[in-house]
């Protein structure tokens, strides 16, 4: 499968794929992203590749768990290949982060300029 999303005006940094739990204005503490396998895909021509969020940052949710991202090609990504968010839960009663995350055998090629706060190895 090939993903090449258009730039949405409401996204500051669009990503090709989002695994992000979202409740209904904080009214879904049982919502979760769990048991996901994302395998053998081609992503390209977008600022971001794969974005995975551990918990909902706007309200209570369950912890993301058992996510596998394997054997994918990320080509012509101009900002970042992978982004992991909400590693701490906003709800002190629930754990944050992503439990049992596997990112394995993915190939990526960044094509954009280096972000001002981050330089690639070997960059001047």
pLDDT string in tens for the chain (124-residue length): 444 444 444 445 678 898 988 877 778 889 999 999 999 999 988 888 898 988 887 888 888 999 999 999 999 888 788 888 776 655 566 667 888 999 999 998 888 765 555 555 555 5
* Residue 45, in any domain of the structure: yes
Contact status, residue 19 vs residue 63, Cβ threshold 8 Å: no
* Residue 97, in any domain of the structure: yes
What pLDDT does residue 3 have?
46
* Residue 119, in any domain of the structure: no
* Residue 124, in any domain of the structure: no
What pLDDT does residue 46 have?
84
> Number of folded domains in the chain?
1
* Residue 117, in any domain of the structure: no
* Residue 104, in any domain of the structure: yes
State the burial class of residue 3 (Cβ atoms within 10 Å of its Cβ: 0-12, 13-18, 19+): middle
The C-alpha atoms of residue 24 and residue 22 are separated, in whole angstroms, by: 7
What pLDDT does residue 94 have?
64
**Domain of residue 105, residue span:** 2-6+13-110
pTM over 0.85: no
CA-to-CA dists, residue 116 to 11, 79, 112, 120, 122, angstroms: 19, 11, 12, 11, 15
């Amino acid at each position: 499968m090939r993903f090449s999303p258009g730039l949405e005006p409401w996204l500051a940094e669009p990503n090709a794929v989002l695994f992000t739990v979202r409740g209904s204005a904080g009214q879904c503490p049982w919502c979760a992203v769990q048991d996901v396998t994302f395998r053998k895909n081609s992503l390209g021509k977008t600022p971001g590749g794969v974005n995975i969020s551990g918990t909902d940052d706007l309200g209570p949710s369950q912890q993301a768990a058992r996510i596998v991202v394997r054997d994918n090609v990320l080509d012509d990504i101009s900002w970042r290949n992978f982004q992991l968010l909400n590693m701490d839960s906003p709800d002190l009663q629930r754990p944050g982060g992503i439990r049992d995350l596997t990112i394995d055998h993915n190939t990526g090629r960044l094509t954009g300029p280096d972000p001002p706060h981050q330089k690639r190895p070997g960059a001047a």
